[in-house]
Structure 1
Amino acid sequence: MNTLFNSIQDFTKFALEMTDADLEREWVWKDYDEEGFRFAFFRTLEDLLTLEAFQSHRRKKALSQTQHILAGYHLAFRDLQASLLGIDPAEYERVPAEGEWSLRKVYTHIVEADLLFHVAIKNGLNDHRLRDGKLSKMTEEIWEEVSGTNDAEVDAILAGPIEAALDYHETVHARTLSMLADISDEELEKTTLYWEKEAMTLRFRLHRFESHMRQHTIQMDKTLEMLDLHPNEIKRLLRLIYNGLARAENAMMGINESSLKAVNKYKKNIEDRTAELRGLFEK
């Protein structure tokens, strides 16, 4: 299925082919004829924000507490993705200074943590839903059963190209949003076991998705600075667009995206704009 994310990916792929100087190329939208290609980035952002506002207003059912928590996590996830746009494979491996982590090591840690958080929460839910509330610690068997994978498979993916790791993380993240969204308000206060000495609530564990990811996105940004890989204007603009994408996606949480006519309208706007810009760029 061609999703809103796919449309933004196509726009992003084109944008990363440009330099900041290309933002000055002529592009006209209605009476706006002085901003050039740069204005197309803001029109794309505005399409996403319009979709967010429209769909939020039309929701028949408000987001649950769990969905609100997961929406914050999704904002963090898209921001992390944006921070990694256009990373050169060689730079992905570089250690910026003694005692610091490479971009690969930071990102590998984030993906592995997301997997572990998901399994810990799902196992805790199973304790309460299927095992009469008797808490169980995570074992290798539980890890493989709940995650649907094993250490060797995960290690192989994360040791490969960054593109493979990003695609895998997208799949893991989407599964988390789908499989954990039905946690009730009452269940949020249920306790679960993981590595800590004491049991912690599901509410705490869900919030850890976002807070842990924010923590290491900051580490990622610091590493990029230490590697002298400062974001140019295009990457800064794309980071805004990824924030708008997450907001639009959050407004559609729990709804089949393909059933929403408004999504198709704004997807087409973005796809047509990408094609128009590419045509002008290649002249």
Structure 2
Amino acid sequence: MINQIPWLTHDKYDTAIAQSAESGKPILIYFHSSGCTGCRTLAENTLSDKAVIEPILNQTIPVWVEVESDKPDPRISELVGSHIFIMSPTLQLISSTGDIYHKFLGSPLHTRLDLGYTRVHHDIEGELPVNEFLAQLDVAMGKWNLFNNQYATSSQFFNKVLRESKRETLSHKEADYWNDVAKEAGAYPEDQQHLTFASAAPLAAEVMKFCQILQTIPDSELMIDWKGEPIKGWEHYTDCLREFVFGVYQALVDFSIETKIALRKDARELTKAQEILREWQISYRELQGTLVGLKGRDLDKQHLGVNFSLGKQRTIRNNVVHCVMAEFWAHGSSIRQALAGIRNGISEQTATTKQPVVETWEKYGPPPFNFGTMAQLLDVSESKHKVLIEEFVDVTDEELEKGYGWWEGTPVTIRFRLNRMGWHLQDHAAVIETIAERIGRVRSETERLTARLYSALGRIEGELVGLPKAEQLTITKDIVEIVKERRLTLKEIYT
């Protein structure tokens, strides 16, 4: 027994799975480290409080995982490797089949590092006093019931949090979001809203608006005779919606080619780093293309239903949150630290695992949480992504090949770190497509065509990397008007 709670330890995790399956209670898993001040405070104060012990025992199967050990323990590594994904809270509520239902916001945050992602580093200590822990537990149980279709019960938990917690707390904000879903019996209110990004540039915003209309059109319309005027230059080929869409696609591709040629005539060549950023931008838009047409329910569906992966069953939402968090608060911050070190003549041996994440947090604020509308999350992503592109456009060919350490112990080149920004997004794009298939979300053909437009948008943006914003707006002015005109045509015919 630890802290008056009969926690099952990591070596008894199979017992926890069995007890959870038999009782119908979720598992409360706690990753503790004696070297983490926030963890010790949480264990000694909050988790030892009598007001906390009873609801933990009544509602959950508690499991304690000590992440620091004198010698390697495969079971600890397995559990840590399955549940720590870029600044994960130490407390999580999961099912017997390994589905992660809730991460306790406000508790100390871990980053999973080193080869195999098994070593844990504590980046943000965090504080979760008794009242906030109880509110977070109610949110967790509300989500547990919500995702098991017990809408009335879930609403009871959420309403309790809304009554008893302050509006500025994370528990209140999260309960408010999920309660709207519970009241709609699992339907997400934002599904009726258009996906728009306040931080999107005019071209991106116009393409997204076009895509919003296109993805709502049924496939049966694709080959029907075109009801509008043919596209100029495509008079012989605009005979159906499909060709109209590819007329827009080709306009974007042609524009990217013409832009590249025009800029080269002005003796403007992309540097090696900018070429990498160009590919990264394409990957960024292609990841967004995988989300086309998905509804809120799709984002949060669990998709394996077996515990062989012990928590590696990220939902689509959590994949997107991870990408935003990793791009700006982990990968991007490591490049920022490396460049600062290289430019200031600081040895890579002085790099720390903690510094980049904490400095990014302090300067730009905390990463996004795994609740809220997808539009809000992607808007955060859009604004932070732009910051990184603008920061890294001036990386020189010489700097590109220089190495700097973070957690690795040996120097890693800036080239590798920049390249990773792109293929990491491609990796998760593939995962999201796989999850969509697993949950039975078959993409319509219009949705698939829409995703191609996002890729074409990325090609244009990639060619503009490194140019001042004002110049980018001037260059894209004509293509913005072309897409807008065709969007209005689409809107007139199909809405």
> Deviations for 1:37-62, whole angstroms, at most 9, x for unmatched residues?
22221111111111111110011311
Q: Which runs of 5 or more structure 2 residues have no equivalent in the other structure?
A: 1-199
> Deviations for 1:53-102, whole angstroms, at most 9, x for unmatched residues?
11100113110000011111111110000101121111111011134321
Aligned equivalent of 1:36: 240
Are the counterparts in 1 of residues 348 and 405 from structure 2 also a CA contact under 8 Å?
A: no
2:486 to 273, 278, 282: 273
Aligned equivalent of 1:109: 322
1:224 to 421, 436, 449: 436
Are the counterparts in 2 of residues 117 and 209 from structure 1 also a CA contact under 8 Å?
A: yes
Are the counterparts in 2 of residues 26 and 33 from structure 1 also a CA contact under 8 Å?
A: no
Q: CA RMSD in A?
A: 2.1
Q: Which runs of 5 or more structure 1 residues have no equivalent in the other structure?
A: none
The one-letter amino acid paired with 1:62 is E
The one-letter amino acid paired with 2:399 is E
Instruction: Say which structure, 1 or 2, has more relative contact order (CA 8 Å, 6+ apart).
Output: 1
Q: CA deviation at 1:236?
A: 1.2
More displaced stretch, 99-108 vs 172-181: 99-108
SS in 2 for 1:154: coil
Query: Which of these two proteins has the greater Rg computed from alpha carbons?
Result: 2
1:149 to 355, 364, 367: 364
Aligned equivalent of 1:5: 204
The one-letter amino acid paired with 2:493 is L
- TM-score (norm: length of structure 1): 0.90
Are the counterparts in 2 of residues 117 and 205 from structure 1 also a CA contact under 8 Å?
A: yes
Q: 5 Å matches for 1:172-187?
A: 172-187=384-399
User: 2:396 aligned with 1:200, yes or no?
Assistant: no
Are the counterparts in 1 of residues 400 and 413 from structure 2 also a CA contact under 8 Å?
A: yes
Q: 5 Å matches for 1:1-283?
A: 3-23=202-222, 24=224, 26-29=227-230, 31-32=235-236, 35-59=239-263, 60-98=267-305, 99=309, 100-115=313-328, 116-133=330-347, 135-138=349-352, 140=354, 142-147=356-361, 148-150=363-365, 153-156=366-369, 158-256=370-468, 258-259=470-471, 261-282=474-495
Distance in 1 between the 2:201 and 2:314 partners? 36
Distance in 1 between the 2:201 and 2:461 partners? 14
Percent identical across equivalent pairs? 21
Are the counterparts in 1 of residues 292 and 447 from structure 2 also a CA contact under 8 Å?
A: yes
Q: CA deviation at 1:119?
A: 0.3
Distance in 2 between the 1:274 and 1:120 partners? 40
Q: CA deviation at 1:234?
A: 0.9
Are the counterparts in 2 of residues 189 and 202 from structure 1 also a CA contact under 8 Å?
A: yes
Q: CA deviation at 1:16?
A: 2.4
Q: CA deviation at 1:275?
A: 0.6
- TM-score (norm: length of structure 2): 0.53
Are the counterparts in 1 of residues 249 and 453 from structure 2 also a CA contact under 8 Å?
A: yes
Q: CA deviation at 1:183?
A: 0.8
Structure with the bigger percentage of helix: 1
Name the count of aligned residue pairs: 279
Are the counterparts in 2 of residues 124 and 135 from structure 1 also a CA contact under 8 Å?
A: no
The one-letter amino acid paired with 2:296 is P
